[in-house]
Structure 1
Amino acid sequence: MSDDLIAAAKRRFTDLLPQSWRRDLTLVPVVRLSGAIGMNSPFRQSLTLAATARLLDRAFAVKRAPAVALVINSPGGSPVQSNLIFKRIRALAEEKNKRVFAFVEDVAASGGYMLACAADEIYADPSSIVGSIGVVSAGFGFNDMLSRIGVERRVHTAGTRKVMLDPFQPERAEDVDRLLAIQREVHASFRDLVRSRRGALLKGEEDDLFSGEFWVGAQALPMGLIDGLGDLRSVLRERFGTDVRTPLIAPSGNWFTRRANGIGAQIGLDGGIGAGFAQGLADVAEERALWARYGL
């Protein structure tokens, strides 16, 4: 048998091996971080530390991988869950000595941008929405509704501030002042996080960068909010060569199991099927409002 035939046979055999067995390939595991952050729903899995921790552990556990890629598509949500996921990514990156790449799809805004900041390099499409480094709270007021339908509401508290921002009472200036003070603290923490990760890369006035404004990727690049324009495949092939492989680290179980777990969690947490689904629908509406804020 000629040397050419032997070499061809070896290549053919190698191609049939699982990627994890092939030493000639560079592996960069991919974790998708998609959806609003910290919003429970019986119909889809929420983006929380509990939901992502195992995926992140699996991705960073691939010993041969020089890096991990995050594909981010999130309009934000809970600042606490955003920060918890951010810290877990950074802890694993330092522990496993791996570089982290973030690739923004439609949007990485507010808490979604916080997740992107966990990466060493951030890439986006020219039309991706990036930024919104700020804090927002929203609600409704129903202080006249109950009296109009003949319902008397009775509330008894121990503690003068237990009904702060009660939607069934007129808004009080001192309650709003307290909320704004909390928002300023959260916003300051967000600004410090972005500074710590982007540092000297940031260009322009901080009053603009941290105003809550958002930009498309082509605008975010010269501001230093991202490192380049590009997609996962092209960037990683340029960095690691054409033999790079990007296996997706997906949740275990099938679609039905994951949906059933979401429904079960709603029932268990909220005390009943009706209450669970009502809360789930409210969270779906709130998530829809988050996406709509960015025209999506």
Structure 2
Amino acid sequence: MKLIRFGEPQHERPGVVLDDGTRLDVSEHFADYTPEFFAAGGLARLREVLAAGRRLRQVSAGLRLGPPVARPGKFVAVGLNYRNHAKEVGIPLPKEPEMFTKYTTCICGPDDAILIPKGSTRLDHELEVAFVVQTKSRYLESDEQALAHIAGLTICNDVSEREFQFDHGTQHVKGKSCDTFGPLGPWLVTLDELPDIGNLEMTLAVNGKTMQHSNTKDMIFNVPFVLRYLSRFFTLEAGDIVTTGTPAGVGAGAKPQRWLKAGDEVRLDITGLGTQTQRIQPLPADY
């Protein structure tokens, strides 16, 4: 299944996308795709609704898409998880996943504008595969167990402000959590629709020029390992989001370095997960 949330910010409703691209509204059956939805077995119930062939209202393709999960409790990120990215920034391959957090207030829809925060000088993009936790996860012992705890995958642009990230202390969170720094979507794709999550092509382009092109085969730590690893140290709850690192091609790794600026268009594509497109914009005067 492909889960979507559509409508204006803070007023999104839940829906699904069929194989032919048709969007359907399921809000008569489910209030939203919240942590409670996933924890209560909502995905199984959603499958039952679709299998029953009940009449569902069609949703216009022109309506805005929001992030595919509502009100996640945690937004966890993994850094340096692609071999080619570690090489481009000149850092040895990590022996264990490197972890930080993004505050959930940074989350926005897949095609919402990315706002340049006040004082920003080095705005950067990071193309990533993210997953959503389906079931409370702690001390997971196998990849099979971890995969059973994952609701699905989505695209994340782990937008980063490198001055905030590196020049104001050592906490990544300052450069990772500005408003609009967490576009998610367009869909949350359940694992049954993704035959090999270890072989997903991924591309990011700025103004039509490819900047990042890689494959999840280049991951140092794969998706189930990341969840197993994190579950050793803290409990992950249903609806939590984990984004799994970016491949080579970020602006910080370029020679010379390059940064996003107002008016730029960023497009992200990952096999089976859809497409995001964002325009870089200055903060509104009344922000």
TM-score using structure 1 length: 0.25
TM-score using structure 2 length: 0.26
More helix by share: 1
More strand by share: 2
Who wins on radius of gyration, i.e. which is larger? 1
